[in-house]
Structure 1
Amino acid sequence: MAAWADRLRQQGHVRVRQIETHISWLVMAADRVWKVKKPVRLPFVDFSTLALRRHFCEEELRLSRRLAPQIYRRVVPLWRDAHGVPDTHRLARPADEWAVEMLRFADDALLAQQVHAGQLAPTALHALGVQMARFHSATAAQCPDAHYGSADLIASDVRALFAPLCGGPFAERVPIWQEWVAQQVARLTPLWRQRHRQGFVREGHGDLHMGNLVVLDGRIVPFDCIEFDPAKRWIDPVNDIAFLTMDLQAAGHTGLAAQVQDGWLQQGGDFAGLATWRFYEVYRAMVRAMVTGLSPASGSDGTAPGAHYADLLDGWTGRSSRPQLAITCGLSGSGKSTIAAAWLAQGNAVRLRSDVERKRLFGLDALDDSQALGQSIYTEEATTKTFARLAQLAEQALRCGWSVVVDAAFLRQRQRAAFRLLAQRLQLPFTILWCEAPPEVLRQRIAKRRAQSQDPSEATPELVAAQQQWLEPFTDEERPFVQPTSTGA
């Protein structure tokens, strides 16, 4: 491959570079990349024959084109000349090798670099979460092997990490991780089996960390799906997306991880998966701690490679903090969704949006126009069902250890009381986030939101006027829990 790179330079190609990994060679020139699979057979991959290498090139193209069609161009044959140097120039004989031809992008376009440089708005991560939820919903669900994504495989995969971890730099910390994993495996096995029976296992990405995402034209694009081991990509979608939320938190970007999770949950609605989310984050962090911990290099401060993953694991498997429940209260346009989104940045929290869940109850997407579709979703009965659903989801998430903020108007005392009593029953802290803004600001926000058509809310100026009549004052029981927030700027 080095000789091929040299020849490309001699032919006048610019920005020629060669990269070698454990299982591949990459040769780059100008705006193209050729990825050649090494003729290796390892416990986790078999590229030992030309036929297998061609097959896995075709699999890589198929799988990664689902998310990055602009990057993955084609599978190309290679022929070696008399000196053994590969090239794409066709010869009158069968190909000697196969490669995946891809679009080349700048190194600093990788998500890891973009996040580190502070060049990405939180909305971009939220949009990625939405995109991945749509991908998981649309991707193949007919699992080719009943063992893929099974409770037994999940448990064996995580247990297999302990031996190498015990031989690494974090050996003294492993027993605590091991004890936590054992408890969680016992707790989650029935749920894993249930989700497996219900068809949650999908053909996902399999390796969704920051190094496998790139920012192209302002949009985050996942690439490099796992092609060589179907068991690593036929997984529960929570396992897939939790890799990224873990990786962002390990890099110190808890708020961005929350944006990814919020986008994924709002779009897909799989709040039941929250029970497994932290386990999958721990599993992914253990994998990264094991892999990076094997590196001989140390950080600039002398810490062992992978220490940030180990620190994250210590926090997650140590003593857990109590979740809390918060609800918003205020007129449409008063900033409830903004306040609720900011509340997520504390980490370990999820948001429930009445506008989204109301539409979901009626089979509508978050941005669907219910009136245009002839749906009556704002009746008193529909509102009662919506708040009952919000209470059900809130209790479900709280019992799994997640703090919850419920983003709704909560104009009625009885609506607020139901959630205050829920927190009281679960013996958890409760807060009412009271949001208000001047009437002119409310009108401006409503008008802007309706013009953009990018928000689930269907509020109108007329509705805001009616809400002023419907808003019931806080009772003496409620006032100790009220936290005023001004969003009038």
Structure 2
Amino acid sequence: MTQNDQSDVIAFLADPATHGGATQGRAAHGGTGPVGVIATHISQVFLAGGRAFKLKRAVTLPYADFSTPERRLAFCEKEFVLNRATAPGLYLGVRRITRTREAGLEFDGIGELADAVVEMVRFDQEALFDRFAVEGRLDAALMSELAGTIARFHADAPVVHAGSGSQRLAALIDMNSASFAESDVFSRDEVSALAGALRQRLARHAGVLDTREAAGRVRRCHGDLHL
């Protein structure tokens, strides 16, 4: 994994002053209190007032290339389009972070592109279904409603043909193997054994997978659906 420097962008997003006033025609989103940060291996989410700003880390991985501001902007736009369809009340848009003449940063200026973020409505973490499960609040009615919503989303999802049969899964096995090889969690022998077992199973079921693809049974759904 390679990673580029984003320290100035991170400092900009973590600064309460960044979020304290209206910017480029957009209303302020809630005060100048401390900015919270949620970090993952490929992103950082900055929580400011009633808004959340998701920044993609400048990393290059076997499954994700966020190495340049332009690529991160493009991936932010793709993420917004996909997730706006399922959560229109949460996903507000994509904000460009641009450089100012004074060598500072601002949202949606006319200067050079420095980075990009997905802007979202900040939601109560207690509303997540994992919290509901712990507290025993996931009842049958709620789960039935959720199942219906996901089923309708899948039914309306576009059919995908190009590279969606056994070849696609073969590429995923290769990609995962490359990712595992960069980690010290598994030994080389373990990675090799896992990849070999997966390729063996794939060869056994390749005919079925390719038949499903040809019949239009593979759809562009959501590979990272969180509850």
TM-score normalised by length of structure 2: 0.72
1:189 maps onto 2:206 in alignment? yes
Tell me which residue corresponds to 1:138: 156
Task: From 216, 219, 227, give the equivalent of 1:199.
Answer: 216
Tell me which residue corresponds to 2:124: 106
Task: From 5, 11, 15, give the equivalent of 1:2.
Answer: 11
- The correspondence of residues 273-284 of structure 1 with structure 2, limited to 5 A, is none
How far apart, CA to CA, are the structure 2 residues paired with 1:177 and 1:10?
47
Q: CA deviation at 1:72?
A: 0.5
SS at match of 1:207: coil
Task: From 161, 165, 181, give the equivalent of 1:150.
Answer: 165
- Structure 1: which 5+ runs fail to align? 214-489
How far apart, CA to CA, are the structure 1 residues paired with 2:69 and 2:188?
41
Q: CA deviation at 1:139?
A: 1.4
Letter in 2 for 1:24: S
Tell me which residue corresponds to 1:409: none
Q: CA RMSD in A?
A: 3.5
Letter in 2 for 1:151: S
In structure 2, the CA distance between the partners of 1:197 and 1:68, relative to structure 1 (3 Å rule), is same
Task: From 60, 71, 81, give the equivalent of 2:79.
Answer: 60
In structure 2, the CA distance between the partners of 1:159 and 1:117, relative to structure 1 (3 Å rule), is farther
- The correspondence of residues 44-443 of structure 1 with structure 2, limited to 5 A, is 44-81=63-100, 86-88=105-107, 91-143=109-161, 146-147=162-163, 149-155=164-170, 157-158=172-173, 164=180, 168=185, 181=198, 184-208=201-225, 212-213=226-227
Q: CA deviation at 1:150?
A: 1.6
Contact 2:95 2:118 in 1 (8 A): yes
SS at match of 1:202: coil
Contact 2:99 2:112 in 1 (8 A): no
Which protein has greater RCO, CA pairs closer than 8 Å, 6+ apart?
2
Contact 1:25 1:36 in 2 (8 A): yes
Contact 1:9 1:16 in 2 (8 A): no
- Structure 2: which 5+ runs fail to align? 1-9, 21-30
How far apart, CA to CA, are the structure 1 residues paired with 2:53 and 2:146?
27
CA displacement, residues 268-304 of structure 1 (integer Å, 9 cap, x when unaligned) = xxxxxxxxxxxxxxxxxxxxxxxxxxxxxxxxxxxxx
Tell me which residue corresponds to 1:433: none
* Larger Rg over CA atoms: 1
Tell me which residue corresponds to 2:58: 39
Bigger proportion of residues as helix: 1
Q: CA deviation at 1:31?
A: 1.0
Letter in 2 for 1:4: L
In structure 2, the CA distance between the partners of 1:192 and 1:172, relative to structure 1 (3 Å rule), is same
How far apart, CA to CA, are the structure 2 residues paired with 1:133 and 1:70?
20
How far apart, CA to CA, are the structure 1 residues paired with 2:76 and 2:65?
12
In structure 2, the CA distance between the partners of 1:155 and 1:52, relative to structure 1 (3 Å rule), is closer
Q: Aligned residues: percent identity?
A: 31
Q: CA deviation at 1:157?
A: 2.9
CA displacement, residues 237-266 of structure 1 (integer Å, 9 cap, x when unaligned) = xxxxxxxxxxxxxxxxxxxxxxxxxxxxxx
